[in-house]
Chain A
Amino acid sequence: MRFRNIGRTLLLGVALLASGASSQAPERRVIRVTAERFTFTPSRIVVNPGDTIEFRLTSDDTAHGFRISGTDVNVVIPKRGMPETSVTITAPAPGKYAFECTRMCGAGHNFMRGELIVREPRQGAPR
């Protein structure tokens, strides 16, 4: 009985690994980002190249900006209680792309930064 359970666990592990490899295929992802003086949560976002990423942006306080360097993304996140802002991009080439608040939101405004990391594609992964 015990060996059977171990066998099942191993099989499950293999299946999970296989599904991890296939996750390299471009996919559509929805990423919710909350802005609050002076933080983006999450502040580090990891995606695969070619993924279609929909950012859904809300604020817990005042209006903030959201710009991702090296992309066309540059939008305003409205104040708390207002509808969310949505912006969709295709993940660019592998690398690190800083994102930051572009609307002066207080003396800690410079802290308000994050990083979009686009992974290198795995060898053999479908494109």
Chain B
Amino acid sequence: MDFHFNKLEKDDGSLDFHRFVIILNHSFSPRIRFVGELELEHAFVEGLEEGGELELEQAYVDFLLTRSFNVRAGMLLVPMGIINERHEPPVYQGVERPFVDTVIIPSTWFDAGAGIHGEIGRGLRYRAYAMAPLNALEFTADEGIREGRLKGSQANVRGVAFAGRTEYVGTPNLTLGASLWRGETGFAIRRFDTPVRVAEVDARYKLRRLETRGQFAHVSIGNAAALNDAIQRTVGISPNVASGLRGFYGEAAYRVWAAGVSKDLVAFLRYENFDTQHRMPAGFLPLKEFDRDALVMGVTYYPDPDVAVKADYIRQRNQSGVVKSPNSFNVGLGWWF
């Protein structure tokens, strides 16, 4: 759960109770378990998401068979990147999640599906799911595939998507991950296919007080030109959807005060580069204001390992000579239990 104060440059500040999350668990038996996560975003829900969103982000049953092979089905988090499956405020630095985990990887990304998971050998984990796809008609120039999430709500599964991730956790303090999502997203446009592929690699490493992490993500959208034409015929405006999106970031966080509970302070610096118009289909020009980078610097104070008080400053830039990306100052309080 977290609430924020956000102050964009040349704009009034705002207070937002961003996320209120309820997690439900039940064990039918030691080998059959239910996990549920219900999230209320922006404090209240008004029709058509004007005020907020109530989302069923997880609701699945796990059939725990062996260490290396288990089955789950229901509403699943897409196993993609560092943040999507572990998205609570105490586990990432900064008041808001990284931009790359918002506009390139559309976290929180969840959908209905089923699949297998397990751990092999000394710390090689995997998840492999068949899931509902994205809806290409909702793709945009600035947020890429984000608005295309179907969120398990009467999702059209003419084409089933595949999502998989492998993660190596066998060496203390090191986590290496790679994820892939592939799916046909053009079910609403019958004339042509719109295959989408999201690929990602990430690493996290801790060395005493220093914690580092990095992530690279790439999205490719097939038949983007035809998709833009089809949407333009429907709504009158081309969304200028790219054929390639790309983002990466590197972060270093240092525990400047590490004297136990209530004496725990982290300073961090993160550089992000994210471009939702990285590759354009023939005949389309990129909108340069969506080729962005950001330098995020701030501190996180942990009065308890599950409570994070955060403050950061974001200097954001883009490649446009006309449209400026605003810098911002943010303060947040997040907790998890």
Please report A residues at the B interface, Cβ cutoff 8 Å: 34, 37-39, 41-44, 59, 61-62, 69, 79-82, 96, 98, 104, 106-111, 113-115
Cβ of B193 under 8 Å from chain A = no
Report yes or no: A41 in contact with B305, Cβ–Cβ below 8 A: no
Number of residues of chain B lying within 8 A (CB) of chain A: 38
Among A44, A81, A115, the one with the most B-chain Cβ atoms within 10 Å of its Cβ is A81
> Is A43 a contact partner of B169 (Cβ separation < 8 A)?
yes
A61 touches B261 (CB 8 A): no
**Which chain B positions have C-beta within 8 A of A69?**
30
Contacts A61-B90, A106-B336, A107-B35 hold; do A42 and B23 have CB atoms under 8 A apart?
no
Question: CA of A110 to CA of B67 in the docked complex: distance in angstroms?
Answer: 11
Q: Is the CB of A81 within 8 A of B306?
A: no
Chain A neighbourhood of B175, CB < 8 A: 39
Which one of A81, A106, A108 has the greatest number of beta carbons of chain B within 10 Å? A106
Asked if B97 lies at the interface with its beta carbon under 8 angstroms from chain A, I say no
Do B123 and A107 touch (CB < 8 A)?
A: no
Q: Which 8 A-B pairs have the closest CB atoms?
A: A81-B260, A80-B305, A81-B261, A79-B305, A107-B37, A110-B62, A115-B67, A62-B306
| Shortest beta-carbon distance from B82 to chain A in Å | 13
What number of A-B contacts does a CB cutoff of 8 Å give? 78
Cβ–Cβ < 8 Å partners of A82 in chain B: 260-261
Bound Cα distance A108, B25 (Å) = 10
- Distance A82 CA – B263 CA, assembled complex (angstroms): 11
| Additional 8 contacts, C-beta under 8 A, given A42-B123, A61-B306 | A41-B123, A43-B122, A43-B123, A44-B122, A44-B123, A61-B90, A61-B305, A104-B23
Please give the distance in Å from A96's CB to the nearest CB on chain B.
8
* Closest Cβ–Cβ distance, residue B119 to chain A (whole Å): 6
A81/B305 in contact, CB under 8 A: yes
Cα of A98 to Cα of B118 in the assembled complex, Å: 13
Cβ–Cβ contact A110 & B336, under 8 A: no
Q: Name the A residues within 8 Å of B58 (CB-CB).
A: 107
Chain B 119-169 interface residues, beta-carbon cutoff 8 Å to A? 119, 121-123, 125, 169
B264 interface residue (CB < 8 Å to A): yes
Residue with the greatest number of chain A CB neighbours at <10 A, chosen from B123, B175, B258:
B123
Would A98 and B35 count as touching, CB distance under 8 A?
Answer: no
B55 located at the interface, meaning its Cβ lies under 8 Å from any Cβ of chain A in the complex? no
B172 close to A (CB within 8 Å): yes
A98 contacts which chain B residues (CB < 8 A)? 67
Query: Which residue of the partner chain, among B64, B170, B258, B264, contacts A42 with CB atoms under 8 Å?
Result: B170
Closest Cβ neighbor of B68 among chain A residues: A115
CA distance A5 to B57 in the complex (A): 64
Q: Which residues of A contact B306 (CB under 8 A)?
A: 61-62, 79
Q: Of residues 191 to 243 in B, which have CB atoms within 8 Å of A's CB atoms?
A: none
Whole-angstrom distance between the alpha carbons of A75 and B53 in the complex? 39
Does B324 make an interface contact (CB < 8 A)?
no
A43-B119, A61-B90 known; A107 and B23 CB under 8 Å?
yes
